[in-house]
Amino acid sequence: MSTIQGLTMPTNHIKMGKHGLLRIQHASKSAVSTKTVKDSFCRAGIYNSKTTSYDLKQILSNCTSTISIEEETHIMEVIPKLAAILNQNGELLDSDFNKYNIRVEESISSKDNLVLSRKRMVLLTNATLVQKEEEKRKKKEEDKLQNLEKKRVRKEKAEAKKTSKVAKKGNVKSVHMRENKQSDVESDEEW
């Protein structure tokens, strides 16, 4: 029996745990390599090893909706303009696609309002986008502090109201007690 961080376990359990952790470490090292990342980028069309650039045909072939040849040609024509917007703003919004008449899947809510990891097109290292996200974070933090302050004020008001009700009840009781004492005195005098 051995003790690790306050837990007493049989030695063979500790040994099996260590081997399990080493297997996980080895599997993650062998699964994520430069080659596997490069291959997945090629399959997605993000990178073409022959041209060392993106492969638009490969990207469009991965689309879940069917794209007509006219749409594909139009997209290829406006890609440089969209790339300029992406480089400037750090993201492409629905309005950017609408501006160039590119069909966007209809959904209940806009992808523009989602968290970064779920947005349509984002350059995480873009200075404009980083600044915009920092401003969002600060505003969210300020809103949270304001909400906490509002809750605190509401709680204080509720406690003050409760205290005043208790005080009123106390006054009412003392008035009733005085009245009762007076009636007792009067009834004593009658005897």
Model confidence over 42-78: pLDDT tens digits?
888 877 777 777 777 788 887 777 888 898 889 889 9
pLDDT over 70, % of the chain: 84
Q: What is the pTM of this model?
A: 0.53
Model confidence over 129-143: pLDDT tens digits?
999 999 999 999 999
The pLDDT of residue 145 is above 60: yes
Question: Across residues 12-18, what is the average pLDDT?
Answer: 85
CB atoms within 10 A of CB 123: 16
**DSSP secondary structure letters along 92-112:** E-HHHHHHTT------SS-GG
User: Mean pLDDT, the chain, as a whole number?
Assistant: 81
